[in-house]
């Protein structure tokens, strides 16, 4: 089948729009957790389950849709995952019980988990090697735009109109992104792949652990687990942590909005550096910055210190995410690229399940925020070691 040509800018815009709506949903969830704490009288463990059930769905979605992307194509999975998200998000605005909310969060999570690795795979396979890293990091930068919009909606909408209105505002525009994706061509590399080379899912998984790829797979699984564990443990609890440090819900929303602004320069700086210094070095630098910022944020007491290290945390963490999404698809050939990226993300989502649960449990036990953030600091340093010892440089490498 002949592949339609599409400009890099249009591809980036269409893929990025879906990524942005995913980010709005995840970002707004952290504020909704804080709001539901008051409205439904949730305890810390119930609050943590909202974030964790989302990650369980993401783990399942990344696994299922990653493998499916190697069978039916990147484009079709791209559309299906956004449908899961937009319908689930709209319906969750109508829920009145925690159990119904959790069920819908699982399906929303499936859409989110499947979308992200498939999107980065599609874009990686559609642009030239010398631009690939920068374009994928710029794709990831839409996540920061989404988080910023989520923070604005949360600050202006949730206190006055309720969290239900905020969810509806995020679900409706996502339907437009689905419309745009229908006309999107599939990856040129996928469309030229011989049908006979499209393996069954068990064969794909075994190939990921073959002698040729097991080093890359080991590295990616460790890095994804540690990064997602720390990210969701920190950022889903960020508004609530600010409340625990003595600020009102409105103040916490305002301060998290300020911290969120640092995500965009984090992405843009990583996008500039990735084609100059390479994936491995930039990923390690931004992960080290994340770990140090997490430690000092957890130990900060004054508002200036909280804002400073909160912004640095956003800057380095989201820059590292951008590089990781560019780095992951480059480890595998086209026949198993969707499966490889999806399974790495799925393992990461296991960390995303455990991170929020750990915070909820430790807060219930009276553990200080400083100790909790020190654990996340250690997790990120473990990811740095994995990249250093097991990672290989893939800058401008031709993918096949």
Q: Is residue 164 part of a domain?
A: yes
CATH number at residue 101: 1.20.1250.20
Query: Is residue 399 in some structural domain?
Result: no
Q: Tell me, yes or no, whether 365 lies in a domain.
A: yes
Listed in sequence order, the residues at least 6 apart from 65 whose beta carbon sits closer than 8 Å to its beta carbon are 77, 80, 81, 110, 113, 114, 115, 118, 342
pLDDT at position 334 is 85
Residue-wise pLDDT for 153-174, tens only, equals 888 898 889 899 988 888 877 7
* Most confident option among 11-25, 33-47, 234-248, 281-295: 281-295
Band of pLDDT at residue 111, cut at 50, 70 and 90 = very high
Residue 240 in any domain: the answer is yes
196 assigned to some structural domain: no
User: How does the average pLDDT of the chain come out, rounded?
Assistant: 87
Domain extent, residue 324, equals 9-182+209-390
Q: Which comes out higher in pLDDT, residue 25 or 92?
A: 92
- Answer whether residue 306 is part of any domain: yes
Q: 115 pLDDT exceeds 70? A: yes
Task: Name the percent of the chain lying above pLDDT 70.
Answer: 96
The answer to which of 78-92, 263-277, 361-375 has the lowest mean pLDDT is: 78-92
For residue 267, being part of any structural domain is answered with yes
187 assigned to some structural domain = no
- How confident is residue 193, by pLDDT bands cut at 50, 70 and 90? low
**Domain count for the chain:** 1
């Amino acid at each position: 089948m002949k592949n339609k040509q599409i400009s890099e800018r249009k591809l980036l815009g269409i893929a990025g729009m879906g990524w942005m709506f995913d980010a709005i949903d995840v970002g707004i969830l952290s504020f909704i957790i804080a709001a539901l704490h008051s409205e439904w009288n949730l305890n810390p463990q119930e609050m943590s389950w909202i974030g964790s059930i989302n990650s369980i769905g993401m783990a399942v979605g990344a696994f299922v849709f990653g493998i499916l992307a190697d069978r039916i194509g990147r484009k079709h999975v791209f559309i299906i995952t956004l449908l899961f998200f937009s319908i689930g998000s709209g319906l969750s605005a109508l829920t009145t019980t925690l159990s119904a909310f959790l069920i819908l969060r699982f399906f929303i999570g499936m859409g989110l988990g499947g979308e992200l690795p498939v999107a980065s795979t599609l874009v990686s396979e559609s642009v030239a090697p010398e631009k690939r890293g920068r374009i994928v990091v710029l794709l990831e930068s839409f996540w920061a735009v989404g988080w910023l919009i989520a923070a604005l909606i949360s600050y202006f909408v949730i206190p006055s109109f309720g969290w239900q209105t905020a969810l509806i505002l995020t679900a409706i525009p996502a339907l437009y992104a689905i419309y745009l994706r229908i006309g999107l061509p599939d990856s040129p590399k996928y469309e030229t792949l011989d049908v006979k080379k499209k393996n069954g899912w068990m064969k794909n998984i075994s190939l990921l652990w073959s002698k040729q790829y097991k080093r890359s797979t080991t590295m990616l699984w460790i890095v994804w687990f540690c990064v997602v564990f720390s990210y969701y443990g920190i950022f889903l609890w960020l508004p609530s942590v600010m409340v625990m440090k003595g600020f009102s819900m409105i103040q916490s929303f305002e301060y998290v909005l300020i911290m969120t602004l640092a995500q965009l320069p984090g992405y843009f700086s990583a996008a500039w550096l990735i084609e100059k210094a390479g994936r491995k070095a930039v990923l390690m630098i931004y992960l080290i910055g994340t770990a140090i910022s997490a430690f000092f944020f957890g130990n900060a007491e004054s508002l200036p210190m909280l804002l400073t290290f909160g912004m640095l945390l956003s800057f380095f963490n989201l820059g590292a995410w951008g590089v990781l999404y560019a780095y992951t698809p480059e480890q595998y050939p086209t026949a198993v690229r969707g499966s490889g990226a999806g399974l790495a993300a799925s393992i990461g989502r296991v960390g995303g399940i455990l991170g929020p649960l750990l915070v909820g449990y430790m807060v219930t036990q009276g553990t200080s925020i400083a100790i909790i953030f020190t654990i996340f600091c250690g997790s990120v340093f473990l990811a740095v070691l994995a990249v250093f010892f097991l990672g290989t440089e893939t800058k401008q490498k031709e993918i096949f």
